[in-house]
Structure 1
Amino acid sequence: MLVDRARMFLLSLPLVPLVFFLLLLAGCGGGGGDPGAVSPPPAPPGATTGSLQVVVNSLPAGTNATVRVTGPNNFAQDVISTQTLNNLAPGSYSVAAASVSVGNATYTPAPATQSVVVTAGATAMATVAYASTALTLALQDIGPTFTSPTFVTAPPGDDRLFVLERRGVIRIVRNGATLTQPWLDISANVFAGGEGGLLSMAFDPNFASNGYFYIYYTDPFLNIVVERYGSSPTPNVADPTSALTILRIPHPQFQNHFGGLVAFGPDGFLYAATGDGGGAGDPFGNAQNLTSLLGKMLRVDVRSATVAQPYTIPATNPYVNGAGRRAEIWAYGLRNPWRFAFDGEQLYTADVGQDAREEVNIAAASQGGLNYGWDIMEGTACFGATTCDRTGLTLPAFEYEHGANEVNGCSITGGYVYRGTAIPELAGRYFYSDYCRGYIKSFFATGAGIVEQRDWGLGAAGQVVSFGRDGAGELYVVSAGGRVFRIVRGTVP
């Protein structure tokens, strides 16, 4: 009966007082205590998505951040500056930021990762603040002293480091220790006088399955020799009886300008860079002579090498049809190319100058038939003349003059473009040195020219003979004093 009377009373009230009265009744229920967690405000009518504003602070003007946002329904989006992401499904989103390199500084994000909840009809916020620190490098001695080392390398992904000694021995460094037995010893076949010796090594792209590797050296008759060897069933020892000669190039007159690098290009072909035959000023005119293999970049296909036919000529070589020109030639006009390197689809070739200039040539790896100018040009200057015909010549992308008393150097040592993972700020920087000065320098090559030239202040290596790379893509420096150093991140003072 009392319930019926209350119901009749409520129904007799006007609408607005009725609503107010019901709210009062609801507020009086429960009798105090903790009200519990505060619920988020209700979404506007019909709202099913929300927004996330990513705020990026403290990067130099024009510098892109590296931020990735991931969330429900496999959502993923990269953010390079302050931005609001709309129409997001409600849920938890991860905001992960990476360091950014600008010139000589590294900008580190804080926080590096954070989680943000997006609710329907609302805008959440995530702030990424960058702070800069100067990037420095150091040289880490890998340990032993070698006998006139000339080169270091490793197959991709391999934890061993292969160190070449000029006398004709290849040694293995593993886990910081040099193995007692050499990987290969061909010292009986090597002329190590002058600028000769065992100068470089390249692993076949299919080394993991076929065990082949290639070496570049000078023999007792001063010939330039490129040979293929194979691995043996014995771990960490090659098969010394497996030699297959790929190239043997006469170099009879002088004991300098042998060139010295063999490497595989991105096309799978084998490249070798030879010197002009030695002497001052290319006295025999080899570099511009297309019937000579000296002063050239050579390219051959060794995938089906046999004793009867150690190589074939790639169909896209510029002089494949002969006409009095050697079909092995890929490029010419080189004086003494002391190291070249592929970086993706680009080829960097460092060429030692005569009296005044050192140069680095940069070209598309697919572009054959280039004439780099020697002995018409030394760098961008005419050689031995006040004027010269530059028609058809490819001038260097980078050069430096020796300067008074060779203050800048006298003999370039080419290196590599950094593509390792230990120091991501260095990505894309080409490293080089000079034998007379021993510095470690780098630059960044862009479509607009050479930028970010830097001397890293690393003089501990002394006279730098070569650079090298390990199986992870990290860079090494080979010293004439017998030490091998890894380039590592330095300590910020």
Structure 2
Amino acid sequence: MKPIAAVCSCFLLAAATGFLVAQDKPKDESGKIRGLYQAAALKGGDVERGLAVFKSKKAACTRCHILSGAEKKAGPKLGTIGDKFTRDQLIRSVLEPSARIHPDHATTTVVTTAGKTINGVVQARDKKQLQLVDGEGKLVRIPADEIELEKPNKTSLMPSDVYKSITADQFADLVAYLGTLKQAIGKSRWVGMPDVMPMIKKPVRLERLHSQAMKFDHPVCVIANPMAAGEYFVVEQKTRRIYRLIKGAGDFTTDKKVLWVDLSNEASTGQFEGVLCLAFHPRYRKNRKYYVNYHVRNQGSHFSPIIAERKATADFQGDAGGKSRRLLQIPQATDLHWGGSLAFGPDGYLYIGAGDAGPQEDPDGNGQNLEVLTGSLLRIDINRSQGGKPYAIPPDNPFARTRKNAKNLRAAHLKNAREEIYAFGLRMPWRFSWDSKTGDLWVGDIGQNLFENIRIIRNGENHGWNVFEGFAAFSDRYRRKGETYIPPVLSYRRKDGVSVTAGYVYRAKKDSSYYGAFIFADFESKRIWAMTQKDRTLVKVRQIGTCPEKPCSFGIDENGELLVIGYEGTIFRLVLEGSVFE
């Protein structure tokens, strides 16, 4: 009988990147699988018996999983799986583990120079070796010079025939037990980690910006057209296309959706890769330049984020064509935690979010390693070139090689620090924005196992990952004596969501109760919140609504009102009138 190496290894961890993909109903409708599915869904199961199944050799869950702790295994930690997934999602994930595999726990296939094939989940990588955990839960170290081929594998380490090892009743019990694995909730000792984030009495409304027929394909970014009122640019991740959404007068019937540019000949695509963001040059009206953040796979088996420059036509009616001018490539060792955002700050410099690049829990310490671009917020001057690069370093970047800064760079860990870094200690800064009044830079930093974080970031700061996850200590491996770690303004738990989507501080109407509040959401729970702070200390946070689709990003229209992007294809207006933030 084929052993079940990891009954739960297929669980999708949205906390890793912000995208939880609901799995389809099992395609195999055989009587046994249908029986397992129905037994788990309808009978409910017994939690205590489920724990016994989880620990049993027959199910072998513990071969690839732990609930919590520092031990490394192939599958994700399951201590909060009941917060992250519905019962239906748990059932479907186990029955068809390879249907949709999150890259955080995707299988990698390595063929050695000796002809040996090894399948496993990447745990760590450096110049000397690659470390994988295989389906038996064993750590395999492969010298870098012995790797002939390395490629992603779309098949889960978990066999799809779980029904051959456990009965339908045992499966029902196992799912019942997994559903109880939730984050322990106690009285928080941190102001910024509230026990509850209560719903206001009258939630905000979300209204469509366009018709149902004009839905987009996995939109991830919306920006008002700086050259025309009532127009928006919408970025589609997977198709790698950017569209103009031209609003007509009156109802949706006069709206137009016009292709601006198709980047499929430059960018790669996949479950989480593609084109992610768009930013217009502050002098766009004069130079017609704009910038995109997209992925490529031409540097090996893993994708890398690219920051590229393009131009509009002279009449601003379309992209000028031709190849993009690449400014910066951020090398990655895995397909994880790539950041994804770019935007021009009030100072005119281009800011870029770069995730820690994986693997899970940042075993290589990229968040604290100043010699790499990952795990940081970057800032570059795209109006000048310097040192053979198509951009320059702002002189007040914390690690800029300037005469004024020389004394500050004498410490051993700073001598080779990348000058592009503005702030560091970040895990996955998916979206960020500035308060148009105060200039505060707000960042949504997607968490690891337990917490999602909202941060206000300043020049040169270390925001703690992976020494800290949120307010809580995480690992001492890369802790430096005397280092100052800046905590988040807000850290929320798995019961509230698993993948934070940062928005904007609302400044459109001064008489609104939301004026000065930062509005954000969670991709998986679909909840939308507003919060206020003073001196980076939380003052108030309330849930103000729920998005009909998974909110992956926010935007602002020409009047300063907020837009919400639903990943399933709809752009919404966030209507605050009639709602009171109290």
Same fold? TM cut 0.5: yes
1:262 paired to 2:342: yes
Aligned residues of 1:195 and 1:256 also touching (Cα < 8 A): no
Paired letter, 2:245: V
SS in 1 for 2:507: coil
Aligned residues of 2:296 and 2:305 also touching (Cα < 8 A): yes
Question: What's the Cα RMSD here?
Answer: 2.8
Larger deviation: 176-185 or 279-288? 176-185
1:447 paired to 2:535: yes
SS in 2 for 1:279: coil
How far, CA to CA, are the matches of 1:458 and 1:237 in structure 2? 35
Paired letter, 1:425: S
| Inter-CA distance 156–231: structure 2 relative to 1 (3 Å threshold) | closer
Which residue, 272, 281, 288 being the options, matches 1:211? 288
Aligned residues of 2:220 and 2:235 also touching (Cα < 8 A): yes
Paired letter, 1:310: P
Cα distance, 1:448 vs. partner?
Answer: 7.4
Partner in structure 2 of residue 233 of structure 1: 314
How far, CA to CA, are the matches of 1:390 and 1:354 in structure 2? 25
Cα deviation code 1:292-316 (max 9, x no counterpart): 0011110111123599641101111
Which residue, 394, 400, 410 being the options, matches 2:486? 394
Higher-strand-fraction structure: 1
Cα distance, 1:476 vs. partner?
Answer: 0.9
- Mapping for residues 106-121 of structure 1, pairs under 5 Å: none
Larger deviation: 278-287 or 479-488? 278-287
Partner in structure 2 of residue 458 of structure 1: 546
Which residue, 354, 366, 373 being the options, matches 1:293? 373
1:425 paired to 2:505: no
SS in 1 for 2:369: coil
Cα distance, 1:202 vs. partner?
Answer: 0.8
| Inter-CA distance 422–183: structure 2 relative to 1 (3 Å threshold) | farther
1:310 paired to 2:397: no
Cα deviation code 1:414-467 (max 9, x no counterpart): 11111224974322111111111001111012237322311112332x211111
| Inter-CA distance 325–318: structure 2 relative to 1 (3 Å threshold) | same
Partner in structure 1 of residue 207 of structure 2: 140
1:371 paired to 2:462: yes
Uncovered stretches (5+) of structure 2, i.e. residues with no partner: 1-197, 249-253, 402-408, 410-414
SS in 1 for 2:526: coil
Larger deviation: 201-210 or 171-180? 171-180
How far, CA to CA, are the matches of 1:156 and 1:451 in structure 2? 34
Cα distance, 1:197 vs. partner?
Answer: 1.5
Aligned residues of 2:288 and 2:314 also touching (Cα < 8 A): no
Aligned residues of 1:463 and 1:481 also touching (Cα < 8 A): yes
Cα distance, 1:390 vs. partner?
Answer: 8.0
How far, CA to CA, are the matches of 1:175 and 1:453 in structure 2? 34
Paired letter, 2:234: V
Q: Percent identity?
A: 32
Partner in structure 2 of residue 350 of structure 1: 444
| Inter-CA distance 385–235: structure 2 relative to 1 (3 Å threshold) | closer
SS in 2 for 1:182: strand
How far, CA to CA, are the matches of 2:425 and 2:367 in structure 1? 5
State which structure, 1 or 2, has the greater radius of gyration over its C-alpha atoms: 1
Aligned residues of 1:154 and 1:203 also touching (Cα < 8 A): no
Aligned residues of 2:456 and 2:536 also touching (Cα < 8 A): no
How far, CA to CA, are the matches of 1:293 and 1:227 in structure 2? 16
Partner in structure 1 of residue 43 of structure 2: none
Partner in structure 1 of residue 246 of structure 2: 174
SS in 1 for 2:265: helix
| Inter-CA distance 357–228: structure 2 relative to 1 (3 Å threshold) | same
Partner in structure 2 of residue 164 of structure 1: 235
Cα deviation code 1:381-401 (max 9, x no counterpart): 011479977841111111112
Aligned residues of 2:218 and 2:569 also touching (Cα < 8 A): yes
Aligned residues of 2:225 and 2:233 also touching (Cα < 8 A): no
SS in 2 for 1:287: helix
Partner in structure 1 of residue 297 of structure 2: 220
How far, CA to CA, are the matches of 2:419 and 2:378 in structure 1? 9
Aligned residues of 1:476 and 1:484 also touching (Cα < 8 A): yes
SS in 2 for 1:238: coil
Instruction: Answer 1 or 2: higher relative contact order, Cα 8 Å, separation at least 6.
Output: 2
1:485 paired to 2:577: no
Q: How many residues align?
A: 354
Higher-helix-fraction structure: 2
How far, CA to CA, are the matches of 2:355 and 2:579 in structure 1? 42
Cα distance, 1:180 vs. partner?
Answer: 4.7
**TM-score calculated relative to the size of structure 2:** 0.57
SS in 1 for 2:382: coil
Uncovered stretches (5+) of structure 1, i.e. residues with no partner: 1-102, 106-133
Aligned residues of 1:257 and 1:278 also touching (Cα < 8 A): yes
Partner in structure 2 of residue 51 of structure 1: none
Partner in structure 1 of residue 501 of structure 2: 413
Cα distance, 1:260 vs. partner?
Answer: 0.5
How far, CA to CA, are the matches of 1:319 and 1:335 in structure 2? 20
Aligned residues of 2:467 and 2:477 also touching (Cα < 8 A): no
How far, CA to CA, are the matches of 1:474 and 1:308 in structure 2? 41
Cα distance, 1:179 vs. partner?
Answer: 3.9
Paired letter, 2:522: D
Cα distance, 1:272 vs. partner?
Answer: 0.2
Aligned residues of 1:244 and 1:310 also touching (Cα < 8 A): no
Partner in structure 1 of residue 329 of structure 2: 248
How far, CA to CA, are the matches of 2:375 and 2:318 in structure 1? 34
Cα deviation code 1:80-139 (max 9, x no counterpart): xxxxxxxxxxxxxxxxxxxxxxx999xxxxxxxxxxxxxxxxxxxxxxxxxxxx875211
Aligned residues of 1:299 and 1:330 also touching (Cα < 8 A): yes
Aligned residues of 1:358 and 1:400 also touching (Cα < 8 A): yes
How far, CA to CA, are the matches of 2:387 and 2:559 in structure 1? 34
How far, CA to CA, are the matches of 1:277 and 1:390 in structure 2? 26
| Inter-CA distance 390–147: structure 2 relative to 1 (3 Å threshold) | farther
How far, CA to CA, are the matches of 1:369 and 1:173 in structure 2? 38
SS in 1 for 2:368: coil
Cα distance, 1:168 vs. partner?
Answer: 1.2
Paired letter, 1:217: Y
How far, CA to CA, are the matches of 2:509 and 2:372 in structure 1? 41
- Mapping for residues 119-130 of structure 1, pairs under 5 Å: none
Aligned residues of 1:172 and 1:178 also touching (Cα < 8 A): no
How far, CA to CA, are the matches of 2:221 and 2:203 in structure 1? 25
| Inter-CA distance 157–353: structure 2 relative to 1 (3 Å threshold) | same
| Inter-CA distance 387–180: structure 2 relative to 1 (3 Å threshold) | closer
Paired letter, 1:478: I
Aligned residues of 1:195 and 1:258 also touching (Cα < 8 A): no
Aligned residues of 2:531 and 2:539 also touching (Cα < 8 A): yes
Cα distance, 1:264 vs. partner?
Answer: 0.8
Cα deviation code 1:317-350 (max 9, x no counterpart): 1111273111111111110111111114211111
Cα deviation code 1:337-396 (max 9, x no counterpart): 111111142111110110101111113xxx421111011110010114799778411111
